[in-house]
A and B are shown apart, each in its own frame.
Chain A
Amino acid sequence: MAWITTVEDVTVIATESLSKRFPRVTALDRLSVEIGPGVTGLVGANGAGKSTLIKILLGLSPATEGRAEVLGLDVATKGAAIRERVGYMPEHDCLPPDVSATEFVVHMARMSGLPPTAARERTADTLRHVGLYEERYRPIGGYSTGMKQRVKLAQALVHDPQLVFLDEPTNGLDPVGRDEMLGLIRRIHTDFGISVLVTSHLLGELERTCDHVVVVDGGKLLRSSSTTDFTQTTTTLAIEVTDSDEHPDGTRAVREALHARGVDTHDSSGLPGAGHILLLTAQGEETYDLVRDIVADLGLGLVRMEQRRHHISEVFTSEAEERKEAAVHGS
């Protein structure tokens, strides 16, 4: 290829003040977001507008205003072309119980335009990749929830799309099944090279799986950033020190020394080893140096100093609260 764009440059999904209003509700409210390749989480409570956004991106529901592009194609005019390159796994059950996974996925592959032979080959490959083996010849009616989710995923991947929309793929799964599904989602990008937009109302699981998280609430964009940004903007440090004869309670001594220098510590009660662990907010490099110096001056041993990763949920709730406060002040 003469000109190769690096992966980072490509925008997979772009929306520009995208709005969708129904007679009684506003599902999307001037949503502008750009999503690159990789695994992107779309987070929001139920009714936040996630499914509406997917419908618009598939070109199946016209936006009230604004515009959106998927893989560089306008959703308003190029719906069919988009749907040829994109896979979709719905949130709800969508499998007929009386056919086998193989028959069903072959049929869906042909509906995506794959010739009969290719449809059969791709089906066998895809079912193997999602982890369905001998059971794929049995009627779907007898499958566990986890197996059904895999069949739903397989039908979204069978035509080798460039992008898949996964709507709540971990719904109804037990913790083990949830982990397996998340691992599979990760592999869709790393091993298969397919970009993923995955929705969930559980924030914690997206933190582990996604490169990028978009948070929507009430149809509005709350936040869009990479998962590393999300959890690093405010780093919390956890510190544990030894005790000495001079300072029988080393932890308290450090806390007092920090307070004397104007650094606040957080309440760590409720965490494991609460009495021995100090939590403080790192303001930058100098905070690390300060802790090192204080511990050295007191003649204590520094057992650990580590970053505590924030949970996305904390970011989400704090921002929602801020917004609420702003709304209260505004009115």
Chain B
Amino acid sequence: MAVEQPVRTPVAPSGDQTRIHNIGYRTYDGPRLGRTYATRSLYSQSLRGAYGLGRSVKSKVLPMLLFVVMCVPAAIMVAVAVATKAKDLPVDYTRYAILMQAVISLYVASQAPQSVSRDLRFKTVPLYFSRPIETADYVRAKYAALASALFVLTAAPLLVLYIGALLAKLDFADQTKGFAQGLVSVTLLSLLFAGIGLVIASVTPRRGFGIAAVIAVMTISYGAVSTLQAIAEAQNSTGAIPWIGLFSPVTLIDGVQSAFLGATSAFPGAVGPTNGEGVVYVLVVLGLIAASYGLLLRRYRKVGL
């Protein structure tokens, strides 16, 4: 196709340094990198944004603070282990995220809405979809970014524990296996929490509602599940405990890792799911992740322009 462009002003040669030239409009003939590049750019921008990078100082405070709060207990445990020459770390790698679940939930609650609600609230979404990028690209970039941010948040303290354990000259093979199991567990946790957080946040353009709703879903479900499990234990119906655990994100991860990743369950009486029940846990976790992705796709197909 040969379309004659109307004459455009060419680039002025750089002459006298002290004078400012009005160089007129310059066309762009450089590369256009397309969808994949745009999706990657959106991913890195959202991931940085999840820690307040490239945003105002005010928005850096909370994510950075939560990151520090996540890592400090690990550092203390390591210090204690090294100082007391303990034979093992005070906490399993897989257990760490379960202990710190409140911090993780708070992080999801604060960052999921900032990632998606802003675009909805300020109606920036149409600007994305009037570009080569498609609904699925946007959803994938946002989902991957928040899941990665959560992985950084949950894997960093495990790394602190692992390095500390090696410094304390604990058994290498044992520690490496535990660390690897911990990483698998937090990967699942990151995907699950990011999905749930984003689905809730994408429904409301108001950031405040988003934050409240995410916190409510995470803590209320955990509170209800723990209470029911405690009652079940008190009534000696331990068989019901693993099934009740299917109904909150944290207990789901707990169940998966105690069935398959060598973790001791945090359920009352440490009654983790059996292998058979564990399969159900894994299916539910994977199902929830897929469902979150599907719901996000549906949501953004609607908001379009």
Contacts and interface: CB of A to CB of B under 8 A. Distances in A.
A98 B124 CA distance: 13
Interface of A: 1-7, 10, 55, 58, 60-61, 72, 80-81, 83-84, 86-88, 90, 92-99, 103, 107-108, 110-115, 118, 122, 125, 129, 139, 155, 159-160, 162, 189-193
Contact of A95 (B6, B122, B133): B122
B132 A191 contact: no
Interface in B25-84: 25-28, 30-35, 37-38, 41-42, 45, 54-56, 59
A99 B45 CA distance: 13
Contact of B127 (A4, A90, A114): A90
A72 B6 contact: no
Interface of B: 1-9, 24-28, 30-35, 37-38, 41-42, 45, 54-56, 59, 118-119, 122-124, 126-134, 304-305
Interface of chain B, helix or strand or loop or mixed? loop
Ranked nearest first, the 6 interchain pairs of A and B with the lowest CB-CB distance are: A160-B28, A88-B130, A193-B6, A113-B32, A110-B41, A113-B33
B25 A155 contact: no
Contacts of A58: 130, 305
B126 A90 contact: yes
Contacts of A1: 2, 4
Contact of B128 (A55, A111, A115, A122): A111
B132 A60 contact: no
Contacts of A112: 32, 38, 131-132
Nearest to A55: B305
Contacts of B24: 191
Name A's interface SS: loop
A188 to B, nearest CB: 9
Nearest to A161: B28
B129 A60 contact: yes
B130 A60 contact: yes
A122 B29 CA distance: 11
Contact of B8 (A61, A125, A193): A193
B25 A192 contact: yes
A80 B134 contact: yes
Contacts of B33: 113-115
Contacts of B56: 98, 139
Contacts of B130: 58, 60, 83, 86-88, 90
23 contacts: A5-B3, A7-B6, A83-B132, A87-B130, A90-B126, A92-B123, A95-B124, A96-B122, A98-B55, A99-B55, A108-B127, A108-B131, A111-B128, A112-B32, A113-B31, A114-B28, A114-B32, A118-B28, A129-B25, A159-B32, A189-B6, A192-B8, A193-B25
Nearest to B32: A113
B122 A2 contact: no
Given A4-B4, A125-B26, A160-B28, A94 B305 contact: no
A139 B134 CA distance: 28
B146 to A, nearest CB: 18
Contact of B3 (A10, A88, A98): A10
Contacts of B45: 107, 110
B138 to A, nearest CB: 10
Contacts of B129: 60
A162 B129 CA distance: 18
Given A4-B4, A60-B304, A84-B132, A114 B30 contact: yes
B25 A191 contact: yes
Contacts of A72: 1
A96 to B, nearest CB: 5
B122 A84 contact: no
Nearest to B134: A80
Given A84-B132, A110-B41, A122 B122 contact: no
Nearest to A158: B28
Contacts of A81: 132
B28 A5 contact: no
Nearest to A110: B41
A60 B302 CA distance: 11
A193 B59 CA distance: 41
A61 B305 contact: yes
B208 to A, nearest CB: 15
Nearest to B41: A110
A95 to B, nearest CB: 6
Given A4-B4, A7-B4, A94 B123 contact: yes
A206 to B, nearest CB: 21
Nearest to A98: B56
